[in-house]
Amino acid sequence: MKVLVTGGAGFIGSHVVEKLIQENYQLVVVDNLSAGTLENIHKDAKFIKMDIRSHQLLELFMEEKFDYVIHLAAQTMVHKSIAMPDYDCDVNISGTVNLLEGCRKTQVRRLVFSSTAAVYGDVTALPIMENACTLPTSFYGLSKLTCESYLALYHKLY
């Protein structure tokens, strides 16, 4: 089985890649290295330096024919999302839609998406339950919540 991990050069992504390689999956990592590092990329994974917003992403999907996608790539800095909401939206929302189109057009079997507790905003009760009200207080939280809605609608429509 072939798996694409976006953001696979980051802390979480590199650990996901390592576990999947131990389980004998064939791994492709896409990362633009804006936050991740080359040192985090597993030697047995194929690495492609690419931004998830790139139009070349669809070509990669068509060439590699992924079975599964684990989507961890994102702009994750809250302060950056507030200072540059257009950038946050472009990376997190447009990048995710670009990825979803690759999945849809190449019949990827399953997609795993990493959201954030920031979709819930400032909470008073812990632990946060998944059915808690969402009220993001940053564009980062809002962009991840928007991606959740895109994922739900893509699942319903396609």
Exactly one of 25, 68, 120, 140 is catalytic; name it: 140
> Is 120 assigned a catalytic role?
no
* Torsion sign, CA atoms 33, 103, 45, 71: positive
SS3 content of the chain, % helix, strand, coil (to 5): 45, 15, 40
Tokens 């809250």 sit on residue: 78
Radius of gyration of the chain measured on its C-alpha atoms: 16
CA distance 103 to 100: 5
Helices (H) and strands (E) in the chain, counts: 6, 5
Which residues does the annotation mark as catalytic? Answer: 140
